Structure 1
């Protein structure tokens, strides 16, 4: 099996991280992977916000917890969040961000960095508590956050089980 297929088939969502920081060099590579994702008509209407400040990550998690009434919500305590945002009126914004996130997840896995998709913001971006934080992070007011990559080194005590993949496949020949 080639290296890319192996990376795709072995990547798993990680929900428990160590406190070890992810280097700036790796983060730069993850952003490059995101920037090289496909985008509708090549418009690239996205922005990527990289958050490594633990207090800022906690502030966002706490606001999501309150807004969605999800006691104990903490985004799995990552050491990094990469937050793609996209123009609210971009007809492909959600799909573009999804492609960018997948590139981030696969690139992270290739470096031994764990990742998990955080999707809670897409319907609450404009609630006042969330929008205040997004504004502080420099996310443009005309942008929506459809998903985020929570990143960090996987906790070594967490057993990552293979997951059976199901789905119907049809070949038309």
Structure 2
């Protein structure tokens, strides 16, 4: 089997990380892979913000928890009031992927870029996990102000984040394919 297919088949979400930071070279490689994803009309309206500062990551998590605490949904309120909740699983790096919401393909462009991030990370021995919480909370005024402070364009919406780091333990979950998910018509 070729290396790309091996990478695709072996990649799993990592939700427990060591404190070891990924190198600048690996981060640059991963971000470059993101920019090679397809984009609608080739416009590349996306933006990638990589955070490797622990204090900034903690402050971002607190802003997200603050937005959750205001939610009408009990599950989100619980997360918002939790002392231990960390939306990015304490990964040492978080990449925020945003785009102009006026482009109808914005979410699809970001999803393609995120997949490239995950596959590039896996190929470098780096664990990853898709993080949704910032996409749910990016319109909260406190969260939005913080995102703007981080340099995320004010006209952008967050479509996903990638937690990146070295797995604290090897993911062992076997991939079970659901029956009936593929149809071939000839």
Alignment TM class, shorter chain as reference: over 0.9
Q: In structure 2, what is the equivalent of residue 119 of structure 1?
A: 132
1:161 maps to which of 173, 180, 184: 173
Question: Residues 23-64 of structure 1, C-alpha deviation per residue, up to 9 Å, x if partnerless?
Answer: 000000001100000011111001111100011111111211
Q: Which moved more, 1:147-156 or 1:71-80?
A: 71-80
CA distance in 2 between partners of 1:170 and 1:86 (Å): 33
Other structure's SS at 1:145 match: strand
Q: In structure 2, what is the equivalent of residue 39 of structure 1?
A: 39
4+ aligned runs moved over 3 Å, structure 1? none
Q: Which runs of 5+ in 1 are unaligned?
A: none
Question: Residues 81-118 of structure 1, C-alpha deviation per residue, up to 9 Å, x if partnerless?
Answer: 11111012111111100100000000000111000000
Q: In structure 1, what is the equivalent of residue 28 of structure 2?
A: 28
| TM-score (normalised: structure 1) | 0.95
Q: CA deviation at 1:120?
A: 1.3
RMSD: 1.2
Q: CA deviation at 1:143?
A: 0.1
2:156 maps to which of 138, 143, 154: 143
Q: Which runs of 5+ in 2 are unaligned?
A: 69-76
Q: In structure 2, what is the equivalent of residue 152 of structure 1?
A: 165
Q: CA deviation at 1:159?
A: 4.5
Give the count of matched residue pairs: 172
